[in-house]
Amino acid sequence: MDLCTAMVAANIPWFKLDCPPFRNFLEKYTETKIPNRTTLSKLYLPKCYQNAINIIQADIGQHDIWICVDETTDRTGRFIANLIVGKLSEDSAATPYLLSSKVLERTNHCTVARFVNESLAILWPNAIQHAKVKIMYSDAAPYMLKTATSLKVFYPNLIHFTCIAHGLNLVAEVIREQYPNVNGIISTTKKIFLKAPLRVQIYKEMLPNTPLPPEPVLTRWGTWLNAAFFYNTHFEKIKEVKHVSSHNIHTDKLFTGCCSI
């Protein structure tokens, strides 16, 4: 079971055990027969999981708790909800624990609220201690705000805090909407160099010491502002590259629509 725990904690894929030199190395220096990955998955992983849950339960004990819930997407586009939990203590900073991760069919306040309840049932399998859940931390997405409102019905002492970084990102969203010409320059330049190796080559020849323009993603906080700061510094140089590498009338208008950021 120690091998299973170590590989999971170190994020080492179990298929590595299929490598004969690695398996022989482990068996030689541990003098133990190494189980295959199927055995680890069926026999040892559930025990490791339960040990981890026991550690979380023992550390939290009878303390009040805070929770942090967030949703993200994996590389296949699935919605993954995560719940982090920690105890509230006056004596020391709490150790955060990832209590649960689950794939959601869709992301809304109903599915997230259900996920939170199911996760807290793992922490308190006999009966959820509703009065001990004091703080919920999340981003400021509308469905998260509705989730917190729904949960307050079951958790009477719950106080909801939203992420400051998300709030600042919302300010950046307002800035983006107030400056459409700047947003047009950023998005158009992104398209100009996308899958255009000749233009990228011209850019590198003309601006050898300047990195390629950043490619902002609206769902990634701060990337649009970083792009705006980049163009504020390198706008004139990039405009020269653009005029050399492109003769598109539409992009000409976008670039000449704003002389500075």
Nearest to 84 by CA among 113, 128, 58, 116: 116
| Amino acid 259: pLDDT | 46
- Would 261 be classed as within a structural domain? no
Q: Could you say which of 118, 139, 162 is where a domain stops? A: 162
Residues 172 and 157 in one domain: no
Q: CA-based Rg of the chain, rounded to a whole angstrom?
A: 26
What is the mean pLDDT of the segment spanning 94-111? 91
Same domain, 42 and 105: no
Query: Does residue 259 lie within any of the structural domains?
Result: no
Of 142, 162, 182, at which residue does a domain stop? Answer: 162
Q: What is the pLDDT of residues 116-138, one digit of tens each?
A: 999 999 999 999 999 999 999 99
Q: How confident is the model at residue 261 (pLDDT cuts 50, 70, 90)?
A: very low
Q: Band of the pLDDT at 260, cuts 50, 70, 90?
A: very low
pTM score, whole prediction: 0.68
The answer on 18 and 73 residing in a single domain is no
For 37-53, the pLDDT digits (tens) are: 888 888 888 888 899 99
Asked whether residue 91 is domain-assigned, the answer is yes
Q: Are residues 118 and 76 in the same domain?
A: yes
Query: Do 154 and 67 belong together in one domain?
Result: yes
Domain C-terminal end among 58, 76, 99: 58
Domain membership of residue 247 (yes or no) is yes
Let me know whether 176 and 144 are in one domain.
no
Taken in order 120, 74, 39, 32, the sign of the CA dihedral is negative
Does residue 149 share a domain with residue 205?
Answer: no
Say yes or no: 75 and 119 in one domain.
yes
Asked if residue 89 belongs to a domain, the reply is yes
Whether 78 maps to a domain, the answer reads: yes
CA distance 79 to 106: 7
Do 52 and 67 share a domain, yes or no? no
- Cα torsion angle, 139, 112, 137, 50, sign: negative
- Locate 169 and state its tokens: 């990102």
List the CATH number of the domain containing 150. Answer: 3.30.420.10
Q: How many domains would you assign to the chain?
A: 3
Q: Verify that 70 and 158 share a domain, yes or no.
A: yes
In whole angstroms, give the CA distance from residue 187 to residue 250.
Answer: 13
Check whether residue 155 and residue 177 sit in a common domain. Answer: no
Strand pairing of 133-138 and 65-73? Answer: parallel
The answer to whether residues 193 and 226 belong to one domain is yes
Residue 260 lies in a domain: no
Phi-psi region of 11 (alpha: psi -120 to 50; beta: other; left: phi over 0): left
Per-residue confidence (pLDDT) for residue 247, from 0 to 100: 53
Contact 4, 42 (CB under 8 A): no
Torsional sign, CA 40, 56, 161, 222:
negative
37 within a domain of the structure (yes/no) = yes
Full residue range of the structural domain in which residue 41 is found: 1-58
